[in-house]
Structure 1
């Protein structure tokens, strides 16, 4: 009757408002049995509610994890007297650790100094505490470079990013699958290149601990392998067949008709 239906409605609303999955599922099971529907109208409501709840919990957990990493990094940088040349900031894309050029490299070079190796290794050890993807970005100022090693700022910024990635892999023990190297040359400046003090800020290497939202754009190792396999297949299919070589008659042989 109407009173029973109203009672069921208010019970459902109460349980939903408390976001208690166990209570809601128990109620759904009872109603499904009572209505002899087995897996009735409530069978798909519980998981969808939990998906949203789980996503919220995951986002909070990641935020707390990155906040803890940021605090540990800042403590280390303060102890080493590097807080003036290395910054750690939260951005929408994740946690960004920005090294000024002088901390890691000599000018126009891509070889880490011995002191820089220790710094990168320590940072790499701290990065092992989180499971996120890590992108290493190389940046330069707008002053052109053209020497025997690097023909452009693209090559310099790329080489520096790769150097840091290799250091992470070889000495910090970070999994290669989590890492990527990106070069931006002079085209992602922090400030306008209007003075040497500004150019110093733009010559940098950024280590970005990507948030899960932005990491979705990063291809997984399996996806990358699949893409390479598809490219190989496409090339194979488009290659023209090589015609068989013509067989010339042997003049030393006599052919009898």
Structure 2
């Protein structure tokens, strides 16, 4: 697992072996624990950030009996959705903050010319980036009346009491 800061996003990259068994879209118990630990950060200091989950596979799709995916596209997309569902349903991250993307073998980190390199390319990336300011949120902020200062109210009451 690696953490990197890029532009305006925090990128957490996790090897697929930590999250999934070969050809599987079901999170392993270790993967579920890792995501649970990571959510503490997502809900704390980065509570207003979006979480984009990107799953990557390679061109060699393992043939396991009963494998849910028949192509690298399906496997990567199903894994991304599996992580998003876990974060939303189990870890209670707001669904509006989550997105899932499957990249198959088309965004490799290194050339896929050997088994160790293909293993490096099989990964899940969680990218945390600030939620953009929308025109709707700006409009709401402009239309909400400012709160009255508490001191003024207290001073007015004190003046009334002094007059009596």
* TM-score, reference length from structure 1: 0.48
Which residue of 1 is the match for residue 150 of structure 2?
Answer: none
Runs of 4+ with deviation above 6 angstroms: none
Between structures 1 and 2, the one with greater strand share: 2
2:41 to 119, 126, 141: 126
Which residue of 1 is the match for residue 69 of structure 2?
Answer: 150
Tell me, yes or no, if structure 1 residue 189 matches structure 2 residue 104: no
After superposition, where does 1:153-168 map in structure 2 within 5 Å? 153-168=72-87
The DSSP-based 3-state class of the residue aligned with 2:108 is coil
Tell me, yes or no, if structure 1 residue 135 matches structure 2 residue 58: no
Q: Which has the higher contact order (CA 8 A, sep 6+)?
A: 2
Which residue of 2 is the match for residue 230 of structure 1?
Answer: none
Rounded to whole Å, the distance in 1 between the matches of 2:109 and 2:8 is 16
Rounded to whole Å, the distance in 1 between the matches of 2:130 and 2:80 is 20
The DSSP-based 3-state class of the residue aligned with 1:207 is strand
How many positions carry a matched residue from both structures? Answer: 131
- C-alpha displacement of 1:109: 0.5
- C-alpha displacement of 1:173: 1.5
The DSSP-based 3-state class of the residue aligned with 2:49 is coil
The C-alpha deviation readout for 1:174-223, integer Å capped at 9, x for no partner, is 100000001111001011001111111100000000245xx57x9x9xxx
Question: Over aligned residue pairs, what C-alpha RMSD do you find?
Answer: 2.1
The DSSP-based 3-state class of the residue aligned with 2:105 is coil
Change (3 A) 1:141 1:93: farther
Tell me, yes or no, if structure 1 residue 116 matches structure 2 residue 31: yes
Rounded to whole Å, the distance in 2 between the matches of 1:135 and 1:117 is 17
- C-alpha displacement of 1:118: 1.0
Which residue of 1 is the match for residue 97 of structure 2?
Answer: 178
- C-alpha displacement of 1:145: 5.4
* TM-score, reference length from structure 2: 0.73
- C-alpha displacement of 1:93: 5.1
Tell me, yes or no, if structure 1 residue 204 matches structure 2 residue 110: no
The C-alpha deviation readout for 1:78-114, integer Å capped at 9, x for no partner, is xxxxxxxx00011125111001011000011011111
Structure 1: unaligned runs, 5 residues or longer: 1-85, 221-257
Between structures 1 and 2, the one with greater helix share: 1
- C-alpha displacement of 1:115: 1.6
Change (3 A) 1:200 1:88: same
The DSSP-based 3-state class of the residue aligned with 1:134 is strand
Larger Rg: 1
